[in-house]
Amino acid sequence: MDQDIPNGTLRVIDGRERSYTDGYWIKTYPVPEDTLQGKRRLIEALTRRLFNHTEHGLDIPGHRLAEARQAYLDEADPGKKRVKGAMYAGAMFNRATDIFTRLVELQAAGVEISTSNDLMRECGRCLQEALSLCSLVLHRSGEEGIDELWGETFRAFSTPLPEFYAIRYIKMAQAMRDIDTIADAMVRSFATPMFPGIEPTIRDFARASRNKVETLRTDRDIFDIWAGMVTAGERLASFRPVLANPESAHEQRVASFGNQLICNGRDLIFHITRARVSMPKSTREFVDRCTTYAATGIVTTMPIPLPG
């Protein structure tokens, strides 16, 4: 039984090595060499990824750190202060990346860099302070923050790379669990004559999304994996209910709410899949909406996604 398999167990499945984590067999990739050069590449990639999934306007250059800090400290309006705090955190992430890049360049030139180096300590301080402000930052959807994205960059700086990548399997398993939780809630909500045969479409999209979570963009299979997920999402969003009485205003309203909920679920799974981390608050709220819809035929108020 899978529940008896220890986390971290490796097994070749269909010709591909996979690691067992919390109920999922996840693709493995070679761990980069644990050097400053390897950490620099990882931190740069994580920083780009961070800004790609958070709200717009946070990618403030590191050289504007003092301006960003002063703008945050001077702001009195709570709403604006949250946004300026998020911008300040973004500037600190970029400052840390700038410092680390320069340290790697010095090392390449033959300068020995120790962990007690002043610039190394400053880099860690910037990342840690940015992490302390992560609660001010929202996901690009506007639904919740993704603390794990902020924490990853600091972990990449402060822990050996093998340990960092081992934790990543846990985060991917959590994301896959959210995807399956959302899919299960959708299947339960639409198990009615109005949505005949929708379950395989939902399951196909969930499976394609789990495949994308575990697949790096550098993988040669990414073209098929991404195309498969997008088209599965399109099939789900285009699913049309069958009305017993097409003239009934009540049935039309229930069908419209159902279509809305299907698209919301599809979008949430996309957010989780691209970020490759769990979104527990959004998942929990979506499951609650599904429960309400199954009982009443009504969808509660949905968050309005931010542009882009």
Higher pLDDT, 82 or 124: 82
């790096």: which residue's tokens? 216
**Domain termination site, one of 112, 131, 158:** 158
- Please tell me whether residues 88 and 184 are part of one structural domain: no
Bridge partners, 18 (sequence order) = 11, 27
Does 22 score more than 50 pLDDT?
yes
Whole-number average pLDDT of the chain:
88
> Residue 71: which residues within 8 A CB-CB, separation 6 or more?
84, 87, 88
Which pLDDT belongs to residue 151?
A: 73
User: Angle at which helices 78-108 and 147-158 pack, to 10 degrees?
Assistant: 30
Percent of the chain with pLDDT over 70: 94
More confident residue, 51 or 265: 265
Among 130, 152, 151, 144, which Cα is nearest to 86's? 130
Whole-prediction pTM = 0.83
Strand partners, 139: 54
- 190: closest CA among 238, 227, 241, 148? 241
User: For the segment 33-79, what is each residue's pLDDT rounded down to a tens digit?
Assistant: 888 888 888 888 888 888 888 888 989 999 999 999 999 999 999 99
> Considering its fold, how many domains does the chain have in total?
2
- Residue 146 and residue 232 in one domain: no
Identity of residue 233: G
How does residue 148 score in pLDDT terms, banded at 50, 70 and 90? low
Verify that 287 and 192 share a domain, yes or no: yes
* pLDDT for position 307: 39
Question: Quick one: pLDDT at residue 107?
Answer: 78
pLDDT at 304: 42
Q: Verify that 193 and 144 share a domain, yes or no.
A: no
Residues 121 and 189 in one domain: no
122 and 194 share a domain? Answer: no
pLDDT tens across 80-117, in order? 999 999 999 999 989 988 888 888 788 777 878 777 77
Decide which of 131, 158, 185 is a domain's last residue.
158
Structural domain harbouring 186: 169-296
Task: Answer for the pair 91, 68: CB distance below 8 angstroms, yes or no.
Answer: yes
- Domain boundary, last residue among 125, 158, 191: 158
Q: Is 21 helix (H, G, I), strand (E, B) or coil?
A: strand
Name the strands in the sheet holding 24-27, side by side, starting at the edge strand that comes first in the sequence.
10-13, 16-21, 24-27
The secondary structure of residue 1, as a DSSP letter, is -
Phi, psi at 272, each rounded to 5°? -65, -45
pLDDT higher than threshold 50 for residue 308: no
Rounded Cα distance between 31 and 23, Å, is 22
Q: Which of 80, 108, 145 is nearest to 278 (CA)?
A: 145
pLDDT at 289 over 80: yes
- What are the structure tokens assigned to 83, written together? 């946004």
Given pLDDT bands bounded at 50, 70 and 90, which one contains residue 144?
low
Residue closest to 105 by CA, chosen among 32, 40, 46, 47: 40
Is residue 263 left, alpha or beta, with left meaning phi > 0 and alpha meaning psi from -120 to 50?
alpha
User: What average pLDDT does range 145-170 have in this prediction?
Assistant: 81
Q: Is pLDDT of 18 > 60?
A: yes
C-alpha of 187 from chain center: 23
In a domain, 63, yes or no: yes
- pLDDT of 3: 67
* 185 and 281 within one domain: yes
